[in-house]
Structures are given as structure tokens and as C-alpha cells.
Amino acid sequence: MAQVNFGRASFCAESGARRHVTSSRAVLVTGASRGIGRAAALAFAAAGDRVAVHHRDSPDLAEELLGELPGEGHGVVSGDLSDPEVAERVVEEAAALLGGLDVLVNNAGVSLPHDLLAMDFEPWRKALERTLAVNLLAPAYLIYFAARKMMGKGGAIVNVSSRGAFRGEPGQPGYGASKAGLNALGQSLAVALAPHGISIATVAPGWVATDMYNQELKRPRGEEIQRQSPFGRVATPEEVAAAIFYLASPEARFSSGAILDVNGASYLRT
């Protein structure tokens, strides 16, 4: 069956049916230079969306990704989002680059070991506070500023949380706490922003084969980590990106407030 493309719609030559395709959206993906963020940026661009690739201190990787994104109208923004002034600037720059803002993907995060029983208080406190600042406060700042760009026309926000929000992270309690807080933040603001046509949903991956975790997977406990899932492996960044893309779609608008587990049945919650 032949298919001919007409801009943002496609025409089926045999049936004469015309299939609507969502018009190009302006999408900001934080922490997009690698891993889940990179896969998400590629997924949105492949669908015809315009993407702002955010990084904190990886300009080469961000520019490399920018060159790989299909389509036009993409750009790069940078900065430490735990600084509220930087968070506001990043949203403003992304909206200027893309001609507005329709989707925010809060993916940027850190995973800093801070075992309560193995560290002196000051380094433990600093790691804890940095984790909370990047993983919880920064997404909150971005939602505040992004929501104001979406008022009057609607939009979608997707937060990237973690399985650790539910099962605990004893070696880095701030990580588990920050992701649990992100879940609650998203659900609270889903209620607040729904009257304005803005949805907020969350993906909660388990282990993912990203740069952040690949070294851990290569260590002796790597096989044990993979056996946590009955699939016998960890997720790919593309699998998590597919969930993000769906939750940002108009079809998922009524899933606002939802938390979607992407952990290969490695942790089941009721």
C-alpha cells in the first residue's frame, strides 16, 4: 500500500484516506546529551518535533546529538538547573529557539553515593543536598517557568523518576527521597495544572543501560542486576524514551498524574 507524505499529514494512495499527524511541537529535554535524555530527544525529533537539547557541562556531546537530530529547528541550551535563575533562563532560551514550548521532559539528574554509615557528616550532607537540588528542586523550578509558557494553549510535562522512589536506596537515600518527592510533586501539580490543559506524568525506570550505570553493570554484580528482571536484562534508553514520548502525546492527556513503571517487572507495587 503506497503512502505519500504531505507535510504533517500522510495520504494513503490506495484507499484515499488521509491520516492526521500531530503538528510539530516545541520540546525541551533536560540532561539530553546522553542516556535516556538523548534517546528521548531523538524520539521527539524523529516524530517531527523541534527539540532543545539541554546539558550542564557536556557541550561536545550536546552538539554531536544536535547534528544527529532529524528535521530542523533544534537547538542547544545549557546550565545548572539547580540554580533557579539558570532554570528560568534555560526555559526562556528554549522557548525563543523553538518558537514556544509545548513539552518539558525533566530528565536531568544525579546519582551520588552517600552511605550514612560510611561517610563523615559534611561530605554526606553535601552529597545529599546536591542530589535533592538537582533531582527535585530543579524540576520544580522548570515546571514553574514552563507552565507559564504553556498557559492558554496547554502542554505536557514528563518527569523521569526511578524505581528507587518505591523500594528505597540505602546507599544513596537522597536519590530515593528526591525521586519520591518528584512523584508527589508531579501528582500535586497535575491536579493544579489540569484546568489549564497541562498534563504532568512520570516514568519510573529501574536499571537502564546508560553511561551512568554501564560501569556498574560490568562489575561482578552486573549479572545479579540483570536477573532482577524476569527478562534477564536491564532496560534500554530507547524503551524509556518510548514511554516518555507516549506520556507527552495528546492521546495520553488523560493519564495526567500517572506514574508508569518501566522496570521489566523487577519491582511490582500495588
* pLDDT tens sequence across 107-144: 999 999 999 999 999 999 999 999 999 999 999 999 99
Structural domain for 190, as ranges: 22-262
The reported pLDDT for the residue numbered 220 is 78
- Does the pTM of the predicted model rise above 0.85? yes
Q: How many domains does the chain have?
A: 1
Q: Is 175 among the residues known to form the active site?
A: yes
> By C-alpha distance, which of 26, 44, 245, 270 is closest to 149?
26
Q: Which of 78, 175, 178, 266 is catalytic?
A: 175
Establish how many alpha carbons lie within 13 A of residue 204's alpha carbon, considering only the half-sphere containing its beta carbon. Answer: 27
CATH code, domain carrying 143: 3.40.50.720
- Predicted pLDDT at 103: 98
pLDDT, residue 88, reads 98
pLDDT value at residue 222: 87
Determine which one of 162, 178, 256, 266 is catalytic.
162
Q: Give CA–CA dist 178/164, Å, rounded.
A: 10
∠ CA(142), CA(148), CA(152), 5° rounding? 140
Indicate whether 18 pLDDT > 70: no
Asked if the structure places residue 268 within a domain, the reply is no
Give strand pairing partners of 202.
Answer: 159, 259
Residue 3 lies in a domain: no
86 found inside a domain: yes
Decide if pLDDT at 2 tops 70. no
The span from the CA of 189 to the CA of 82, in Å, is: 19
Q: Which member of 111, 141, 179, 256 is catalytic?
A: 179
Q: Give the pLDDT confidence score for residue 4 in this predicted structure.
A: 31
**Which CA distances in Å does 85 have to 41, 111, 125, 139?**
24, 23, 24, 13
What is the layout of strands, in order, in the sheet containing 259-262?
A: 75-78, 50-55, 26-29, 103-106, 155-160, 198-205, 259-262
Band (7; pLDDT cuts 50, 70, 90): very low
Q: Give the residue carrying C-alpha cell 525533566.
A: 106
Distance of CA 77 to the CA centre of its chain: 16
Any catalytic annotation for residue 162? yes
Q: What is the pLDDT of residue 8?
A: 35
For this structure, is 218 an active site residue? no
Residue 207 located in a structural domain: yes
**Is 111 a member of any domain?**
yes
